[in-house]
Amino acid sequence: MIKCSTLFKLLFTLLVCFQFNNSKMYAQEAGNISGVVSDSANGEVLAFSTVYIEELKRGAITDSRGVFLFTGVPEEKRLTLIVSYMGYNTKKITFEIVHNIMTKLKIGLVQNAVNIKEIEVEAVRFNKENETDISLQRISARQLESLPKSVETDVLRSLQYMPGVQFSGDASAKYYVRGGTSNQNLILLDDTPIYNPYHALGVFSAIDPEMINSIEFHKGAYPTEFSGRLSSVLKIVTKDGNKIRMGGKASLSLLSAKMLFEGPIPWGSYMLTVRKSTSTDILKKFLNNKTYPYDFYDWSFKVNYADPHVLEDAKFTLHGFFSGDKLLNNNPLKQDFKWSNDIIGFNYFQLSKNPLFYDISVNYSRFSGEIIPNATQTKASSNTLNEIIVKGDFKYVYPSKDELDFGLRIQEIKSTFFITNPNGFISDLGKNGTEISVYLRYLLLKFGSFGADIGSRANLTRMAGGDSEFFEPRVRLTYRISPEVALKGAWGLFKQDLTTISDENEAMALYEPWIIIPRYINPSKSIHYVAGIETEFVKDFFFNLDGYYKTCRDIAIINDRKMTATDNDLRSGSSYSYGTEIQLITNQRNFNLNASYSLSWAFNEVDGREYPPKYDSRHNFNITFDYDMGSGWKTSLAWVYTSGHPFTQVNGYYNKLNVDEISSGNLFLQDYSPIMLLGDKNIARLPDYHRLDITFSKQMNIGFAKMHIDLSIVNVYNRKNIFYFDRKTGEQINMLPVLPTASVKIEI
């Protein structure tokens, strides 16, 4: 196996040679400008701000660090930079480019008292003229706060309002993207994978929204720097913490109590969040009025350091996230459950004098789950997954605006999991493995109306050992017909070496054990085909239309036909999905509207038998609306409609005579037991689902503190949405009834 140090030396050698070969060209071209956009009150970076050079009619959007970069800017000429962000006053800055020097700007924006959105429309148009961002949704912390709240703001539940995202019911925060399973979604918290980001039997997310700065959600055909999942990537970036002064927040809802502390340190800042469950009464509404002795917690920290005297234009970050869940019945006749997530990571980010970005990180992630049977017939099981990832990402921006990205990723996983199949065989599916991969990506952006993103990953090893599927090529294209209309397309291959062990027939799963796909099954693979059109047909009204087709093969599933100890525990299946998504977005002075519709089909295939998965729905319509009423009052509403999900019908029953044989040779005829006769899998459909949620918010100043009060009503018109039918009793189990909730937050 190639040593890690050798690969890093090779990568850095290529980097040095690359810089040297381009240094002469760089010196002869026009100048460059870089900068960071932040909130002037606390120094928190403003991701996805709009930055626009007025004279050149060139625009850019800041990345998740609030950083922007322009190359090839004419020298010795006074230029005007216009910077804007939702809810902040637009700012204009005049500057000059000096030969052979990177012009650096630090821009602080001031919040608008009435949260008016001021955006230079021209900047948005020119920035997006060749941006290859198909199937990408960006969400800022401010946008996340404006969404209606079920009990409190939840980052994973907010995804259900996006086109192409399905969910299986009110009692689960799991989401399914364009026909893929939930384990095909990569969730990154500060670039670290999190494997079970759920609290309270999966009802809520374990990621506290107070810690979030920005979200990027790739629904398909995601860029080359991401890997390891077949369907989507959710990238969550946490806040750095207040760089200006000490501060804090305290919140209380019907579910939990939480606190946030933040403040400056020499040449940096810190943030600490803590959340603890306070009551399980609210969970009864989600869990068919059943009481569970449930308890959870999560806490996180982040420390940033950027001393220019130590290393100019560098930033060092240490971050961590820890969560735990327990369901302890204190009853020997009931089983107990525990699971937890632990994440810690270190990141070094560098912007060099040349337009080159370095991003090197070391991340550790651990998931642990356990079922304690006590005196029940439940089989004991436990699952652990320990992962270490070392990676380096590098980006060079040419004066022509073209980009070259490349990187190295080393991932090592150790897992354990014991499973008992329906026939009583116990197997250990745990395994250790290492994967080494590199990627190369070129963004062709020099042409105003055409953009291309072409690249591939090369997998040098396979997690389970043996031959690897070497290349994962990907292409994303944009052609802008006019400033208002763009055509976009994408194609790519994606690989996944991990899977979960789960039963699709379960209405709710406490947690899904993760394992490495064994060597006797090929790694799971998918191919994405995406095409779309994006237009601003009226000022500030954005319309998107996407169509997709996705195939997946070598999907690892439980071998329910295992009869002997030598039979494999898993076998392969396949799936395919296709559909159309429409989205309309408008952001006006005091209201925002987001409406979407999806028409989609999804199918699984096992042993030549085809059926739709339980989360498949033909029609999905979502609308969210928030309105600033003034004087600190805001209101928001969300309406969701989904056509019925598939389920397997019970066609009838037959009585099975139980016979016991005793040592005397006599036969005793016992009672008859009813045995269900099931129809074809998922051939029937539940009735349609729809629900309206409304939230009213009030912000007020109390001395030196701010108070936020949220009053929400979930399922306003008390729609009786069916969750499932109890096969034993025939009882109809409904989802959430009308549910009023409230939360209070104090900020100092």
Residue range 485-512, pLDDT digits in tens:
999 999 999 999 999 877 665 556 667 8
Mean pLDDT of all residues in the chain?
84
Greater confidence, 493 or 169? 493
pLDDT of residue 3: 46
pLDDT of residue 680: 80
CB of 683 within 8 A of CB of 650? Answer: no
Q: What is the mean pLDDT of residues 331-346?
A: 88
Length of the chain, in residues: 748
**Spatial distance between the Cα atoms of 466 and 435, rounded to a whole number of angstroms:** 11
**Spatial distance between the Cα atoms of 28 and 731, rounded to a whole number of angstroms:** 77
- pLDDT at residue 13 greater than cutoff 70: no
**Spatial distance between the Cα atoms of 407 and 156, rounded to a whole number of angstroms:** 29
Q: What is the mean pLDDT of residues 51-80?
A: 85
Q: What is the mean pLDDT of residues 411-424?
A: 77
DSSP string of 122-179?
HHHHHHTTS---TTEEEEEHHHHHTS--SSS--TTGGGGGSTTEE-S-TT----EETT
Nearest CA to 325 out of 511, 512, 515, 514 is that of: 511
Nearest CA to 577 out of 547, 556, 541 is that of: 547
Greater confidence, 466 or 385? 385
Q: What are phi and psi of 469, to 5 degrees?
A: -80, 105
Q: What are phi and psi of 395, to 5 degrees?
A: -135, 125
Q: CA angle 232-235-238, nearest 5°?
A: 160
Q: What are phi and psi of 367, to 5 degrees?
A: -125, 140
Greater confidence, 176 or 143? 176
Q: What is the mean pLDDT of residues 412-416?
A: 92
- pLDDT at residue 19 greater than cutoff 70: no
pLDDT of residue 642: 94
**Spatial distance between the Cα atoms of 318 and 279, rounded to a whole number of angstroms:** 32
What would the two tokens of residue 275 be? 């959340």
pLDDT-derived band at 455, boundaries 50, 70, 90: very high
- pLDDT at residue 664 greater than cutoff 60: no
For 620, the 3-state DSSP assignment is: strand
pLDDT-derived band at 315, boundaries 50, 70, 90: very high
Secondary structure percentages of the chain, helix, strand, coil, to 5: 5, 55, 35
- pLDDT at residue 95 greater than cutoff 90: no
- pLDDT at residue 2 greater than cutoff 80: no
Would you give the DSSP letter of residue 26? H
pLDDT of residue 673: 63
**Spatial distance between the Cα atoms of 386 and 116, rounded to a whole number of angstroms:** 46
The residues with which 274 forms a beta bridge, in sequence order, are 259, 299
What element of type H or E holds 593?
strand 591-606
pLDDT of residue 477: 94
**Spatial distance between the Cα atoms of 367 and 619, rounded to a whole number of angstroms:** 35
Q: What is the mean pLDDT of residues 605-620?
A: 91
The residues with which 23 forms a beta bridge, in sequence order, are none
**Spatial distance between the Cα atoms of 20 and 396, rounded to a whole number of angstroms:** 12
pLDDT of residue 431: 86
Could you give the dihedral angle defined by the CA atoms of residues 281, 282, 283 and 288, in that order, rounded to the nearest 10 degrees?
Answer: 90
SS3 sequence of 392-453? EEEEEECCCCCEEEEEEEEEEEEEEEEEECCCCCEEECCCEEEEEEEEEEEEECCCCCEEEE
- pLDDT at residue 351 greater than cutoff 60: yes
pLDDT-derived band at 525, boundaries 50, 70, 90: very high
Cα 542 versus chain centre, distance: 23
**Spatial distance between the Cα atoms of 153 and 148, rounded to a whole number of angstroms:** 7
C-alpha Rg value of the chain to the nearest Å: 27
Q: What is the mean pLDDT of residues 630-653?
A: 86
For 284, the 3-state DSSP assignment is: helix
**Spatial distance between the Cα atoms of 703 and 631, rounded to a whole number of angstroms:** 17
- pLDDT at residue 8 greater than cutoff 60: no
pLDDT in tens, 235-250: 999 999 999 999 999 9
What would the two tokens of residue 137 be? 């949704």
Residue 366 vs residues 343, 386, 388, 492: alpha-carbon distances, Å: 6, 5, 9, 30
The model's pTM is: 0.89
- pLDDT at residue 82 greater than cutoff 60: yes
Greater confidence, 603 or 470? 603
pLDDT-derived band at 440, boundaries 50, 70, 90: very high
Instruction: Return the minimum-mean-pLDDT range out of 215-224, 370-379, 477-486, 526-535.
Output: 370-379
Q: pLDDT above 90 covers what percent of the chain?
A: 40
pLDDT in tens, 549-596: 999 999 988 877 777 777 787 888 999 999 999 999 988 878 889 999
Which residue ranges form the domains of the chain, and what is each CATH number? 4-127 (2.60.40.1120), 182-650+683-747 (2.40.170.20)
Q: pLDDT above 70 covers what percent of the chain?
A: 86
Tokens 């066609």 label which residue?
651
Greater confidence, 429 or 78? 78
